[in-house]
Amino acid sequence: MMWPNFFLQDQEQRMAMRARGGKRRKVLTDEQEGKIKLAFFVAIVGMTLTVLAVGTEFWVELNTYKQNHSAICEAAHYGLWKFCYKKLWMNDVEEERATCGPAELPGEANCSYFKFFTTGENAHIFQRTTKKELNITAAVVSLLSITLMAMGSLCITMALSKGVDFLLKPASCFFIISGMMVLVCLEIFRHSVRWLITSDKTIPLEYEYSWSVACAAAAGAILIFGGGCFILLSIPSLPKMPWEYCIKSRSDSSSSNTS
């Protein structure tokens, strides 16, 4: 008999609250739900691009200069987690190009993960040494960004399933901060590339950022935009400011005086 009594008391409390003029938590309208789903789709695009960028190794390409009377040329490309050496056939490289590449060309590839994630050793690419602190920091920041995206997605999913909008505010913070962290990750990675290039100049190299960096930059901008959309959608649920109550009370008193 305990559970029936509990539900009966809960129903009586709700009826008493309605009799006293109490209000239940706001339920989303169809229009609000549609806008939230649209903004969530924008955030999902940003999350997809982030995962694509973080999981690929085409952040930067290192290209050696062509050598005469050689049938192959060497290039390398790497991302946050691993790097790849490639031997390309000179016939596949454009004649007007002074360096080897691009890395997307078919050739013999040898890929491996960075050792500083396991043994703590710096990597050596074309006699140049990486700055492991910068590379590790960029990788950690990217993982934290993905974690915040997952938390923001959880908030939006709960908001849509429960039909409430108070979870839009924390979701917007999660997405905006995650987008900013993606951009911070790009800046840290850029410094790591500069460190690598200037660490040794025995072998002349040219470097260029590849499509994974473009995905990460677009993801950061899209996530910040999606978070801003959630902020705009959560504004109607904010409580009234004190001066709004003052203005309302003055208008009510003036209308009563005129009547």
Tens of pLDDT along 161-212?
888 778 889 999 999 999 999 999 999 999 999 999 988 888 888 899 999 9
Domain coordinates in residue numbering, the chain? 27-235
pLDDT of residue 240: 47
pLDDT-derived band at 101, boundaries 50, 70, 90: confident
Expressed in angstroms, the distance from the first to the final Cα of the chain is 57
- Tell me: pLDDT of 11 over 50: yes
| Average pLDDT of every residue of the chain | 82
pLDDT of residue 256: 55
**Are 36 and 160 spatial neighbours (Cβ–Cβ below 8 Å)?**
yes
Residues 57 and 54: their CA atoms lie apart, in Å, by 8
How many CB atoms within 10 Å of residue 109? 14
Query: Looking at the domain 27-235, which fold is it?
Result: Butyryl-CoA Dehydrogenase, subunit A; domain 3 (1.20.140)
**Are 73 and 100 spatial neighbours (Cβ–Cβ below 8 Å)?**
yes
pLDDT of residue 138: 95
Burial profile 180-219: b = 16 or more Cβ within 10 angstroms, e = fewer: bbbbbbbebbbebbebbbeeeeeeebbbebbebbebbbbb
- Tell me: pLDDT of 127 over 80: yes
pLDDT of residue 174: 95
Which residues sit opposite 12 in a β-bridge?
none
pLDDT-derived band at 60, boundaries 50, 70, 90: very high
Average pLDDT over residues 51-74: 88
Average pLDDT over residues 59-74: 85
Average pLDDT over residues 69-97: 87
Residues 32 and 39: their CA atoms lie apart, in Å, by 11
Phi, psi dihedrals of residue 199, rounded to the nearest 5°: -70, -25
pLDDT-derived band at 2, boundaries 50, 70, 90: very low
Percent of the chain with pLDDT over 70: 80
Nearest of 194, 185, 176 to residue 53 by alpha carbon: 185
- Tell me: pLDDT of 123 over 60: yes
Record the tokens describing residue 134, joined without a space.
Answer: 């910068």
pLDDT of residue 247: 54
Whether the predicted model's global pTM rises above the 0.85 cut: no
- Tell me: pLDDT of 18 over 70: no
Record the tokens describing residue 96, joined without a space.
Answer: 């007007």
Pick the more confident residue, 237 or 155: 155
pLDDT of residue 71: 83
For 42-99, the DSSP string reads HHHHHHHHHHHHHH-S-SEEEEEBP-TT-SEEEEEEE-SSEEEEEEEETTTS-TT-SB
Average pLDDT over residues 2-30: 52
Pick the more confident residue, 250 or 67: 67
pLDDT of residue 237: 45
pLDDT-derived band at 65, boundaries 50, 70, 90: confident
pLDDT of residue 8: 47
